[in-house]
Structure 1
Amino acid sequence: MDGQKQSYYINIQSNDIFRDPYEGDWNFKIEATESQVNALERLFDRNEETDWESYFRSHIPYLEYHHQPQNREYDQRMLLIYTMLFYLGDEKTRSHIRKMGILNEDPAYIQHKSF
């Protein structure tokens, strides 16, 4: 049943993925297979780990943000998360992400990518 898409509701700040729109606050609606949602969960999990690493490193004053490899990785993962949300999202989700202006690629191209 992995190939069947279902609706999911994403809270980007808390990294929550809901199956029901009434489970919690959400920002984006997507239509995704179970494996696509699992990939998104892994990206969220890795970003949470990086958040903790950054928190602890932030207490060392001589380490600058842009010199930390985990910060670049975090930024790249966030871009990938938004790309996946754009690709899997409904029109409202895609419109919101377009307005954010964070994707460098042509959104029409992104729609044809496979995750």
Structure 2
Amino acid sequence: MENKKTYYISVGNGQISQVKTADTYNFEIYANDEEITKLREYFDQAYVEDLGSFVRSHVPFVEYHHNSNNDRYDEQLQKAYKMIYDLGNHETKELVAQMGIINGL
């Protein structure tokens, strides 16, 4: 049997917490340890790609749409949001759907 716990997610800083604190969180999800590990991987990879985009931003002749770091960053966030949607409570599912960032919702 899956042992799901409640987690509070802040996408902007990649925070995943089991403690509902005064800090801002965006979404509430129910996940097991494997699912949280996978979500953490998406956030970590997005961070790596974001750093690559930062370095690229100092090269003025490379346009945004020609930067593969941006594409990979967007892809990781798409995966994270899809997972948050799949694991989220009703309110989380509604919020993610309203954002319109996941194709097919």
Q: Aligning the two structures, in what range does the TM-score lie when normalised by the shorter sequence?
A: over 0.9
Amino acid across the alignment from 1:100: M
* Equivalent position SS for 1:22: coil
The reply on whether 1:35 has 2:34 as its aligned counterpart is yes
In 1, Cα distance between equivalents of 2:68 and 2:55? 14
In 2, Cα distance between equivalents of 1:57 and 1:70? 8
Is contact 1:18–1:24 with CA below 8 Å preserved after alignment?
A: no
Q: In the TM superposition, what whole-angstrom CA distance separates every residue of 1:74-93 from its partner, at most 9, and x where no partner exists? A: 11111111100000000010
Amino acid across the alignment from 2:53: S
Gaps in structure 2 of 5+ consecutive residues: none
Aligned to 2:99: 100
Aligned to 1:90: 89
Aligned to 2:60: 61
In 2, Cα distance between equivalents of 1:100 and 1:12? 13
Could you state the TM-score of these two structures normalised by the residue count of structure 1? 0.86
Aligned to 1:13: 12
What is the percentage of aligned positions where both structures have the same residue? 33
Aligned to 1:78: 77
Q: Aligned pairs, how many?
A: 105
In 2, Cα distance between equivalents of 1:9 and 1:23? 11
Could you state the TM-score of these two structures normalised by the residue count of structure 2? 0.94
Shift of 1:23: 6.5
Q: In the TM superposition, what whole-angstrom CA distance separates every residue of 1:20-54 from its partner, at most 9, and x where no partner exists? A: 11163211000001000000001111111111111
Aligned to 2:24: 25
In 2, Cα distance between equivalents of 1:83 and 1:66? 23
